[in-house]
Structure 1
Amino acid sequence: MTAFAEIETLMQAYIENLHDGDISKTDQMFLPECDLCCANDDGSYIHMTLEKYKEVIGGRESPKSKGYPVYGHTISIDQSGPNTAFVKIDCAVQPRYFIDYLSLVRTGEGWKIAAKVYYVQRTED
């Protein structure tokens, strides 16, 4: 499998995991040191460690449990070298819809998310 195909596979698993909310799969996709940051429209931001992000996932109902369909697709993949890439994703944890910017690194275990910056695009009422 090419590196590009491996990244696409990881991104599909990422989108499905946003839908399912399985914390064990989250651990498989992210580096333990990953930082997550959300820029808000008012200029403020939210910063989370991976551990805090897993607490958020564990404390909410998954879109799957609420009957929402899987939503998301990869907008772009920029592979700058054999072991680094940057991916833009359109995704959701309904009723919120996001644009995620994911920095990836290839480790001995395959591609992992090293950093996540995201924006809440819209929220359904």
Structure 2
Amino acid sequence: MDTDVPALRSLAQTYFDAAYEMDAEKFASIFHPSSSVTKVGEDGDVAVTPIAAWLASVRNMNAPKQHDFERDDQILSIDVERELALLKVKLQIPPRTFTDLLSCLKVNGTWRIVQKVMTSKV
């Protein structure tokens, strides 16, 4: 357990770096292949996107790094219970600020994101 919080902080840093670089492979390295991304969609209903489809869309996005946007990455909380963890993070992908809840499981000794629930504002 003493190594879990540092490992989760490292996972969060990889997540922040992947978002800043819009690096789908870096994201793929920390998401479990059966994970998904959930948000309130344009129609106001729940929208669930399988990780493979979400990673495909990431590959077509402009990276904040390409525009030298300033980073504001924050780990707001880390809650660990045995092989389960919940990370609450905040980051900027201009013009939006995102708050993400990352549900993680320790799979074969390695922390992986199994569910991302997100919201954003301009």
TM-score by length of 1: 0.88
The percent identity for this pair of structures is 22
CA RMSD after TM alignment: 1.7
Structure 1 contact 105–113 (Cα < 8 Å) conserved: yes
Residue 65 of structure 2: SS of its match in structure 1? coil
100-109 vs 28-37, greater mean Cα deviation: 100-109
**Runs ≥4 in structure 1, deviation > 6 angstroms?**
none
2:63 pairs with 1:92: no
Asked if residue 24 in structure 1 is aligned to residue 43 in structure 2, the reply is no
Instruction: Show structure 1 runs of 5+ residues with no match.
Output: none
Deviations 1:51-84 (A, max 9, x none): 1111111111111112212221110011011x11
Amino acid paired to 1:30? F
Amino acid across the alignment from 2:115: A
Deviation of the 1:2 alpha carbon: 1.1
**Structure 1 position 40, deviation (Å):** 5.2
TM-score by length of 2: 0.90
Aligned residues: 121
Unaligned runs of 5+ in 2: none
Residues 33-44 of structure 1: pairs in structure 2 closer than 5 A: 33-39=34-40, 43-44=44-45
Q: Distance in 2 between matches of 1:70 and 1:99?
A: 14
